Amino acid sequence: MQNRTHTCNELRMANVGEHVQISGWMENVREVSASLAFVIVRDFYGTTQVVIENEEQMKQIKALNKESTISVTGVVRERDSKNNKIPTGDIEIVPEKIEVLGRCRHNELPFQINRSTEADETLRLKYRYLDLRNPEVKKNIIMRCNVVSALRAAMNDHGFLEITTPILTASSPEGARDYLVPARKHPGMFYALPQAPQQFKQLLMTSGFDRYFQIAPCFRDEDARGDRSPGEFYQLDMEMAFASQEDVFAVLEDVLPPIFAKYGTYNTASSAPFKRIPYLESMDRYGSDKPDLRIDLELTDVTELIGGCGFGPFEGNVVKAVVVSDMTATRKQIDKLCADVEVVSGNKAFWFKVDEKGEIAGGIAKFVKPQEAEVIAALGLKPNTFVGLTAGKKLAAQKTAGVLRKMLVDLCPNHIDKEKYEFCWIVDFPMYEMGEESGELEFCHNPFSMPNGGLEILKKAQAGEVDPLSITAFQYDLVCNGVELSSGAVRNHDPEIMIEAFKMVRLGEEDVKAKFPAMYNAFTYGAPPHAGIAPGVDRMVMLLAGAETIREVIPFPMNKNAQDVMMGAPGYVEQKQLDELHIACVPVETN
């Protein structure tokens, strides 16, 4: 190998006496005297100690800043003081020659390399190339590479072909904002970066390909979250012809558990079949459509039991409860919990408890006290039991209780088994919902999904025989530890059913043809039933690594404001570039 015979993680006692060459970054220098020092050299693979024993080499080393790259040629010998914390801790190199390969010209680094994760995130992202030198940061990227390789191998073993789809395409309404690219040769027209290869993979099914996949880049102009990177992300995109929902489930239930068991922080992962939980049931039991099943707490509907107790916020509303046994939290901790729930959900949480005497106390106890015996019996309450309560319209009460359920485990860690990966499928999503802003019927999940009941159920809904909000679709989410890994669906491959589905949201046949011309036309030439899904690679690796944010598993992530502070993107361009693209920048008017 160029500039080395061995890596910095290779040499052992068996190499003692050998003449070797290593290369890497000068991580640290510990001076003992004017002619004795210990130098740690680090490369991608590990570290090796080099011992300096003469003044000439000492001068050479002292003239270098940390993180300079050097090449050391010398003889391996056994160390007097061994370090059993590293693989090369039994040996050291006595150098004959030290060559500077790349000088670090900065006396002070932005942060200490091996403690870069403690630095401010903006600083880490600006100097990401230094941050990635930290072995703890680097291992996440290595894991990502290994996971992607394992996913590819598994998909190939299941008979899927890896096919790449276009990056420059047409804008289409897929839920998030598009990134637009001006077309130089077509003034006033734009390409869009794909939010997902959705239409292309369905077109592949109509083209006669049976099983498709790719590690697909997707681009969405949306805000960052802990589990979502702004700008771009990658997903294991897959589609199957002549396939049902269960066919898709069977593939991922075979592909994912071994990868999670091998690469995950935890050794236990759900085995097939994963739990199937209908959407409405999930909301009712867990207050979320992405439930963390490691938590053993569930929601209870107590509307009939205490909804009429005289407490104002309960009147005329649905009331949900989360019952927690053996809770010893203080009043201060409970008040903070309720405040945090309100911040996250936008709705208040309430509470009471059963004290050591077996009596209801605290919180809204005075409203519940008149029904004490009935409440304790109905909920099976024992001493030292906490009851968290939420109220509102059904969905609001459920979601607030879902937030409360998740936050309660911080106070009651005995109610969550963190040391495993718990998968589930959320199925039977509503096909339609009432838009919060429009107040009109809208697609709830994915407009390309097949309604459960097909053409017949849509016709009944149009005739007023069926409530459109009761129509479910063959849509499904894959959830792991409370994180949504993916959405998928059995596709609506029939043009007639597609048109009827869009009629429900006030879009006619011409609208469908205009918005989705290629897919609509392809379906008119005879399309096979098909289904697919696209688990997020970034989220998957985040779970496997046990990372707190998705940025920890992306080599060069953007910050929360969708900026690449390392490269200076987005940035201004020269006027001549704008002129070529027929673009004029105008000032934004502010009130």
Q: Which residue has the tokens 């009471």?
A: 352
- Secondary structure element (H or E) that encloses residue 256, with its range: helix 245-263
Residue 215 covered by a domain: yes
Co-location of 335 and 411 in the same domain = yes
Together in a domain, 505 and 553: no
Q: Are strands 211-220 and 161-162 parallel, antiparallel or unpaired?
A: parallel
Residue 14 — φ and ψ, nearest 5°?
-65, -15
**Do 239 and 168 belong together in one domain?**
yes
Spatial distance between the Cα atoms of 527 and 145, rounded to a whole number of angstroms = 36
- Cis peptide leading into residue 570 (ω within 30°): yes
Structure token digits, residue 146: 């290994």
Phi, psi dihedrals of residue 92, rounded to the nearest 5°: -150, 165
* pLDDT for the residue 222: 83
Pick the closest to residue 260 from 146, 425, 359, 429 (CA basis). Answer: 146
CATH of residue 404: 3.30.1360.30
Cα–Cα distance, 172 to 174 (Å, whole number): 6
Answer yes or no: are the C-beta atoms of 235 and 216 closer than 8 Å: yes
Cα–Cα distance, 511 to 521 (Å, whole number):
13
Q: What are the two backbone dihedrals, phi and then psi, of residue 461, each rounded to the nearest 5 degrees? A: -65, -40
Q: Look at residue 234 and tell me if it is in a domain.
A: yes
CATH number for the domain spanning 85: value is: 2.40.50.140
Query: What are the distances in angstroms from CA 240 to CA 48, 155, 246, 475?
Result: 50, 12, 11, 15
Residues 90 and 52 in one domain: yes
pLDDT value of position 175 = 65
Query: Can you tell me which residue has the tokens 């006290």?
Result: 369
- SS3 label, residue 43: coil
Within a domain: 481? no
* Same-domain status, 209 and 153: yes
Q: Are residues 450 and 537 in the same domain?
A: no
Domain range for 460 is 430-472+494-519
The residue assigned the tokens 């209801």 is 360
2 domain-assigned: no
Q: Would you state the structure tokens that stand for residue 591, as one six-digit string? A: 């009130």
* Cβ atoms 545, 551 nearer than 8 A: no
| DSSP-based three-state secondary structure for 432 | strand
Residues of the chain with pLDDT under 70: 1, 173-175, 226, 591
At 539, which CATH number? 3.30.930.10
For residue 463, which phi and psi values (nearest 5 degrees)?
-85, 0
Same-domain pairing of 377 and 307: yes
Cβ neighbours around 176 below 10 Å, total: 14
Q: How far apart are CA 258 and CA 207, in angstroms?
A: 32
Write down the pLDDT at residue 1. 60
Q: Which residue has the tokens 């001076």?
A: 31
Point out the domain boundary residue: 47, 77, 102.
102
β-strand pairing of 423-427 with 275-278: parallel
DSSP symbol at 588: P
| Contacts (Cβ under 8 Å, ≥6 apart) of 208 | none
> Residue 215 class from Cβ within 10 Å (0-12 exposed, 13-18 middle, 19+ buried)?
middle
User: What do you get for the CA distance between the two ends of the chain, in Å?
Assistant: 64
The last residue of one of the domains, among 78, 102, 126, is 102
**Which DSSP symbol is given to 569?**
B
Query: Is the preceding peptide bond at 273 cis, omega within 30 degrees of 0?
Result: yes
Which residue reads 């709830």 in tokens? Answer: 444
196 assigned to some structural domain: yes
pTM of the model: 0.90
Domain end point (choices 102, 122, 152):
102
Instruction: Quote the pLDDT of residue 439.
Output: 86
Cβ(478)–Cβ(535) under 8 Å? yes
DSSP code at position 311: -
If we measure between CA atoms, which residue out of 231, 80, 238 comes closest to residue 156? Answer: 238
Amino acid sitting at position 222: E
Q: Examine the domain organization and report whether 251 and 210 are in the same domain.
A: yes
Tell me the C-alpha distance between 264 and 259, whole Å: 8
Q: Work out how many domains the chain is built from and give that number.
A: 4
Task: List, in order, residues 6 or more apart from 38 with CB less than 8 Å away.
Answer: 29, 30, 32, 49, 50, 51, 52, 92
273 part of a folded domain: no
Q: Tell me the two tokens of residue 106.
A: 């900065």
In whole angstroms, what is the distance from residue 377 CA to residue 69 CA? 72
Q: Is residue 226 part of a domain?
A: yes
> Which amino acid, one-letter code, is at 429?
F
Q: Is 140 in contact with 265 (CB distance < 8 Å)?
A: no
Q: Where are the beta strands (DSSP E) in 58-120?
A: 69-78, 91-102
Q: Are residues 174 and 247 in the same domain?
A: yes
pLDDT score for 174: 59
Residue with tokens 């992306």: 554
Distance separating alpha carbons of residues 52 and 75, to the nearest angstrom? 12
pLDDT of 359: 92
DSSP-assigned letters across all residues of 376-401: HHHHT--TTEEEEEEEESHHHHHHHH
Same domain, 231 and 310: no
pLDDT (0 to 100) of residue 267: 84
E strands, 196-262, are 211-220, 231-241
557 shares a domain with 502: no
Between strands 211-220 and 231-241, the pairing is: antiparallel
CA gap 142, 354 in Å, rounded: 50
Residue 588 lies in a domain: no
Q: Are residues 140 and 209 in the same domain?
A: yes
